[in-house]
């Protein structure tokens, strides 16, 4: 028997679209269901100035599918040379919705990120003054720290000191992966935390048991099962501090399936089907709309979307295994179980 669920049209508060041929191929996978998305600035070279953000936004809009109703919410890549005045001007014009902090070397295309946090204090103070959020990739890059502990150490060494030094700064802990991240978010005000689709599904066993699974490899890397369960509890709680940021990150199969595979899971295509499955398992379908459509706009001070989507539960849904691009195929995230929820309207 079919079941229907109508939600305000959702937003994605953490999305990688890349550029060029990849952008053109993967953009429709997001615009099909999402009204807005926070666009990550870690291109090569990165998007570090207002002028570069405007140019990137124009490239996105130029390849929107016909009839698509989608607004890219642009961000700036924080470097140790970022000009506070440029950031403030980009925000005042309505161009940028956030600034992204990557610790140098933490993830894909993060070489230009921050190594000395004292050098960005002026930018952070200006952002606090004007109400511009800071989105953080929350991992330290100290080689002495185990990769599975880097999020927890980041909270202690970097995030909490930043928030204490700049108390008015609105911050987003992006793609949290640990119980530590959940607990810190629950202890704070003026803070949001995004959770990805794939971190609700996989733990580190999925990556390593029975052979290495490159399409489950992401950064921050999936953690132990107890952390995954903490993320599911947070996402399905309805707490306004938690909202969807897919971190959908396309890489061609050639770059994923090699001796030094790129980090990232491409989930834009089937995210809503997977989330409905998770929330149904947790007995929380009535809180799916808060996670996908309400909590994010509330944090960013934006109105909720006027439109709606309807999810229907019925027969098993079939999604393409891969998205073809001029650069090569991109594998769609496989949750490892049948999906029976689909967007029907």
Q: Which residues are catalytic?
A: 247
Which tokens is 18 given? 């890349």
Which pair of tokens denotes residue 118?
């004292």
- Beta sheet of 96-101, edge-to-edge order: 11-15, 36-39, 71-77, 96-101, 134-137, 171-174, 191-195, 242-244
Neighbours of 89 (CB within 10 A): 14
Tokens of residue 48, six digits: 């570090």
User: What string of pLDDT tens digits covers the 345 residues of the chain?
Assistant: 459 999 999 999 999 999 999 999 999 999 999 999 999 999 999 999 999 999 999 999 999 999 999 999 999 999 999 999 999 999 999 999 999 999 887 676 677 788 888 899 999 999 999 999 999 999 999 999 999 999 999 999 999 999 999 999 999 999 999 999 999 999 999 999 999 999 999 999 999 999 999 999 999 999 999 999 999 999 999 999 999 999 999 999 999 999 889 999 999 999 999 999 999 999 999 999 999 999 999 999 999 999 999 999 999 999 999 999 999 999 999 999 999 999 998
Segments in the chain forming alpha helices (H) = 20-31, 50-62, 84-92, 121-130, 150-154, 160-165, 179-186, 204-208, 225-235, 253-256, 271-281, 288-289, 295-300
340 vs 345: CA distance, rounded Å: 15
pLDDT of residue 109: 62
pLDDT of the residue at 1: 47
Q: How far apart are CA 256 and CA 234, in angstroms?
A: 30
Distant-in-sequence contacts of 78-83, Cβ < 8 A, 24+ apart? 78/102, 78/113, 78/114, 78/120, 78/123, 78/134, 79/46, 79/48, 79/112, 79/113, 79/114, 79/120, 80/114, 80/115, 80/116, 80/119, 80/120, 82/48, 82/120, 82/123, 83/49
At 211, list the tokens.
């052979």
**What's the token pair of residue 241?**
């501090």
CA distance 345 to 328: 31
> Which CATH homologous superfamily contains domain 3-343?
Metal-dependent hydrolases (3.20.20.140)
**Other CB atoms closer than 10 Å to residue 78's CB: what's the count?**
25
Please give the structure tokens belonging to residue 89: 């001007």
For the chain, domain boundaries = 3-343
**∠ CA 252-258-261, rounded to 5°:** 70
| Residue 216 CB coordination number (10 Å) | 21
Q: What tens digit of pLDDT does each residue of 12-62 get?
A: 999 999 999 999 999 999 999 999 999 999 999 999 999 999 999 999 999
CA–CA dist 17, 249 (Å, integer): 7
For position 105, what pLDDT does the model report? 72
């Amino acid at each position: 028997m079919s079941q229907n669920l109508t939600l305000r049209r959702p937003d994605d508060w953490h999305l990688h679209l890349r550029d060029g041929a990849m952008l053109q191929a993967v953009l429709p996978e997001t615009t099909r269901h999402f009204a807005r998305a926070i666009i990550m600035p870690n291109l090569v070279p990165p998007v570090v100035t207002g002028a570069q953000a405007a140019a990137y936004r124009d490239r996105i809009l130029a390849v929107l599918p016909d009839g698509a109703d989608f607004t890219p919410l642009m961000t700036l890549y924080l470097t140790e040379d970022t000009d506070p005045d440029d950031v403030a001007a980009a925000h005042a014009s309505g161009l940028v919705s956030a600034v992204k902090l990557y610790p140098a070397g933490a993830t894909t295309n993060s070489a230009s990120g921050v190594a000395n946090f004292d050098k960005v204090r002026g930018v952070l103070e200006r952002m606090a003054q004007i109400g511009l959020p800071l989105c953080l990739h929350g991992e330290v890059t100290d080689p002495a720290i185990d990769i599975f502990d880097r999020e927890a150490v980041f909270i202690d060494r970097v995030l909490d000191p930043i928030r204490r030094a700049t108390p008015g700064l609105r911050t987003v802990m992006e793609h949290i992966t640990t119980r530590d991240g959940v607990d810190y978010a629950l202890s704070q005000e003026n803070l949001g935390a995004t959770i990805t689709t794939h971190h609700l599904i996989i733990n580190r066993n999925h990556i390593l048991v029975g052979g290495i699974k490159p399409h489950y490899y992401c950064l921050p890397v999936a953690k132990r099962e107890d952390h995954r369960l903490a993320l599911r509890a947070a996402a399905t709680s309805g707490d306004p501090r938690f909202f969807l940021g897919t971190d959908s990150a396309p890489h061609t199969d050639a770059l994923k399936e090699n001796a030094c595979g790129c980090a990232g899971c491409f989930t834009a295509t089937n995210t809503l089907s997977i989330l409905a499955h998770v929330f149904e398992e947790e007995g929380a379908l009535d809180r799916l709309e808060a996670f996908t459509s309400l909590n994010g706009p509330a944090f960013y001070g934006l109105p909720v979307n006027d439109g709606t989507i309807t999810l229907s539960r019925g027969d098993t849904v079939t999604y393409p295994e891969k998205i073809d691009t001029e650069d090569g195929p991109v594998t769609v995230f496989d949750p490892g179980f049948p999906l029976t929820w689909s967007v029907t309207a």
